Each structure stands twice: as C-alpha cells, then as structure tokens.
Homo-oligomer: A and B are copies of this chain.
Amino acid sequence: MSDYLIGRSRTLTADVRIDRTDVDRARRELAGRVWRTPVVRCDQLDALAGTRLWLKAENLQRGGSFKVRGALLAVDELARSGSRGVVAQSTGNHAIAVALAAREHRLPATFVLPSDAPAGKIRRIRATGAEVLTVGTLLAERVAVVEELRERHGYDTVDPYENPRVVLGQATATAELLAQVVAEGARLDAVVVPVGGGSAVAGACLAAAGSGTAVIGAEPEAVPALTAALRAGRPVTVSAGHTMADGLRPDRIGALPFDLARPAVTSVVTVREAAIADALRAAFLHVRLVIEPAAATALAAALSHAAEHGGDVGVLLSGGNVEPGLITSVLAEQDSLV
C-alpha cells in the first residue's frame, strides 16, 4: 500500500508510471459501479461560447462528483490489502467519495476538511457513518492532521492528489467523455477541466494523451495554484484569496498531478468570481443542471475561451454538491450572460 503514499516524498513520484493503458483498465474496473453520466448539449450555451460544448455531467455521479471514480479504485486496493480503515484530507468531494467507497468495504473512515467547507458536504460525509474533523483553511494544516490520525489509528491515507489510483480513477471521467463524443460522431478539439489539487487536470492529460484533444485547466483567479506552479517549474504554495469554488481552494498543486500535467496541459485559464457565478447561473437556467462552483469554473473558462480551440469542446462538470443558499444568492444577482 505504501507504494501509493507518495505525497510526502517528492522524489518518489518519479517511480510512478501510469499512462493511457492504465486509464482503460481503470474504466473496466469501474464499469457498473459508477454511473455512466450523460454528456449534455445546450443551444444557449453553444451560442454564448461560440462553439459546440459537450458537458460531461459528473454532477449526476454517485456522491455528486467525479471523485467517486478515484476513491473506489484506491479503496478497493486498500481493502484487498487488509486495510483497517482510511483517512483523507479533502475540500469535501474526495471525502464524500472515499466515505462511500469505505462504506462499501465496511471500513472505518475519518476525514479532515477545512473549517470553511460547505455544511452540505460535511453532512453528506457523516451520512455514510464516517467521521469529520475540520482544521484551518490551508492544505498543509489538513495534511498534518491526516498524518497524525494515520499514525494514531493505523489507518491508510487516501490522498486526493498523490495517489496514482485516485488520479487514474479521475482520468476515467475524461476518457468516458471522449468516447461518448466519438459515439455521437464528433471528436473533441479540447476539454476544459477545473483545477484544485490537480487530479482532474492530470487525469484529463492521461486520458487525452495521443488523441489530439487539447487539455485546458480552469482555476479561480483567487487561487492560481497551477498557473504559479507552471511558472515556477514546480508546485508552490500560493497565497489564496477567497473563492466561492470551495472545491478549488487547495493552495498548492499536488506533486504527482503536476508531473503528469506539466508536459501535457495546453493552457490554464484563470477565472474571476463573477464569471464563476455567471456560469453557475447559466447551467441552472439554460441547461437545468445544478452544478457546484468548481464545475462552474470550468464552464466559465469554456464560455470565454472554448472558441479559440475549435468546433467541439468538452467541459468536465465535476460535481453538484452546492449549498442551496449559494444557488439562491447567485440566482438573485444580476447576470451578465442571460
């Protein structure tokens, strides 16, 4: 198991060899255990984007986000190895996903979330019977508590960024999207994915390798962790401003995701808060999908930049675990798009 606990040591990532073939194997492992979520089209969004958008609706996924994919792959393996329980830090969705996977294997689970995590996400984790602790708002604070819990309980860590099985699982969302678009007789010129700790963008790079599909990362202007890492040539901790995209608040990109994304990602778009709100509202009013702000960040980047990349652009709508109160307040605001 410790093969996968590579987050603590930067050098270990060099030993990780995962590629497109592993993504295909991951898809087979997950078949029948996650929903094959639909790819949704919408005339009004196409008109706003100036190109055809293909929305991968992982907000409709089990647990309300694409993260159940990686969680199942990782926890399956831990369970097979005789794990006594799991612990993970998360902004919310990874914890919901690991909690569901742990419940499937009847493993105890404890999660460390930031103190500003949405109440609804915490409620969803606790609904599985798992424990939740909250601490600070910085990634490093959560990682320290996870380490302590791991040692105290003898639990296994399921890191949301540094675990190759997690990244492979997240890659299957983009792989499935690419295949679904091909089944409709088209081919994606680009795919836009949100960037938090980096598992989605790293997964997209794995899934799109060799396909000719460009991978565009989208991150809040307030927390430009990938932009900063690409500039520095290595993951760096950024000074995070406030963003409504709670899932994209990690202030540092993971080492494994960075290694995978760095040579493969086509570009990174930073998105203003107002554009995130506009996209969230557009998804609600035009597509009739409830998405969370992280997913809206990818949609916002697609609305503003997709047309530069070609005629068919995919968007990973990563999740739908949003506070009703946030939807209400966003719907009440002036909208520059609609």
Contacts and interface: CB of A to CB of B under 8 A. Distances in A.
A43 interface: yes
B35 A62 contact: no
Contact of A288 (B43, B285, B320): B320
Interface string A22-49: 0000000000000101101111000000
Interface residues of A, number: 25
Copies, count: 2
- Of A42, A43, A289, most B-chain CB atoms within 10 Å: A289
A131 to B, nearest CB: 21
Contact of A331 (B60, B284, B324): B324
A324 B284 contact: yes
A60 B288 contact: yes
Given A284-B324, A324-B284, A324-B331, A40 B60 contact: yes
A291 B288 CA distance: 7
Interface of A: 35, 37-38, 40-43, 57, 59-60, 62, 64, 284-285, 287-291, 320, 324, 327-328, 331-332
The 4 closest A-B pairs by CB, nearest first: A38-B38, A288-B320, A288-B290, A324-B331
Given A35-B41, A64-B288, 4 more contacts: A37-B38, A38-B38, A38-B60, A328-B328
